[in-house]
Structure 1
Amino acid sequence: MRFEVLGPVRVTREDDVAPVSGAVRLGLLGLLLAHANAPVPAETLLDALWDTADAPDPQRLHLTVHRLRRALGEPERLVLGPGGYVLRVAPDELDAQLFDDALEQAERTQDPCRRAPLLRGALRLWRGEAYQGLDLCPLAGDAERLTERRDAACEQLYAAELDCGRHETAVADLAALVRRHPLREHLHALLMTALCRSGRQADALAVYRTVRRTLVDELGVEPGPELRDLERRILAGGDDLVPRVHAAGSRPVTPVH
């Protein structure tokens, strides 16, 4: 069985999607997966799932739990203990855990040409936004954490690709990413570096002017030290921006969206 929260919450079994449906049932599943293998108090679930001024109705929760157990097809996974409801999930069954594990492995890998495929594989686990479609306050923190890790992994991936000498193939994907994240300065720095290494210094400086204008207009601040230093180095000729690693027979970069 596979539990997925890196996109719309769902359960898959042997490549088929398990029949977990309904906003309340999916909300319950998401809340339990955010605390997989740990008890979630009934009061927390009641408050999150039913926005009502009346006293919470435990029977509604019991019925929803019963229906979720039946949909999972393995009722022993969802149990009620002293601290609340617990959903039992193995480490290799939850996509968020697999994502975190892959990032940790990538961070321990010194060779950028070995680190890049690990990061790419981690990012392929994403199917949309974390807990997509579930507007529940208790999930906001975990969703924000996962999203920030995903965005950082994108930056780490393309930094590794540049270190492997794949600057020309990375330009288009980095350009798409900066359009999606116009305020992430490090992404712009990676794009500027890729352009400069591809012999496109004028385009790299144009990226700097664009992000500077955006930062000033949107936030009222100038670019940070990384971007300012990068602009200075490009204006000086950019000779110190040549790739540190040249990968023979390097293959195209798989786009990350």
Structure 2
Amino acid sequence: MLRLSLTAKIVLGVIVAAILAFMYVPLMLVVLNSFNAARIASWPVRGFSLESWGKAFTSEPVRAALLNSVLVATGATAIALVLGTLVAFALQRYDFFGKRAVNLLVVLPIALPGIVTGVALNNTYNQILEPIGIHVGFFGMIIAHGTFCIVMVFNNILARLRRLNPGVEEASKDLGATPWQTFRMVTFPQFRSAFIAGGILAFALSFDEVYVTIFTAPPGVDTLPLWIMNQMARPNEANVVNVVATVVILASFIPVWVSQRLGREIDERG
């Protein structure tokens, strides 16, 4: 086991503390300003009030944007769970011509800058589909989010499938189980944790996506990130934005915690 000197421990501790402060102090400022009694966000906070919280929770645009974000993220996650699982099984269980190319094409959307994906999909919707009478509208935004959410599910499930013991499935078949029974009772329980973790990550990724949403959202439709971005140009609404951001920060702890728990479960079963 590697042993560090006292000096090395102190230096590493200072570096870690500086990095954590750089990451989380701005978040704390957002939380504090959500209670700021002043109409404009400021530091230091001289007075505290719940007025901005009341405005945020009674704001119809905020509720509409939140609902849109949830609907889009849910739809994109559903697409990602189905397609990501199917592609993971296909690449893990079968050999075919172009297998590596398919693997690359599935992973590529997460590596591309979001603005490139957004421009490409916007051109496809407006210049190819609409002229022939296909108006994708809100569903087009869901599809756009699904293109990069698939990667989250695919990577999680593929990694888990590579660690499964094929002998268990063979034993199930030898005992007379049908392919569906084998999948439902033997295969799926073994990668269920990866399936759920991938879905949570896909939902979180879609929920806070900005660039793809800008180029694919129908006119007049805002998601929560778009609403926040638009409101940042209005200083008098800054504290309401801080309230919404604070709620998102607190809500983000849930999927992170669940993903970590599922990750530990996968490692323990591994």
TM-score after normalising by structure 1: 0.30
Larger strand share, 1 or 2: 1
TM-score after normalising by structure 2: 0.29
Higher RCO structure, 1 or 2 (CA under 8 Å, sep 6+):
2
Larger helix share, 1 or 2: 2
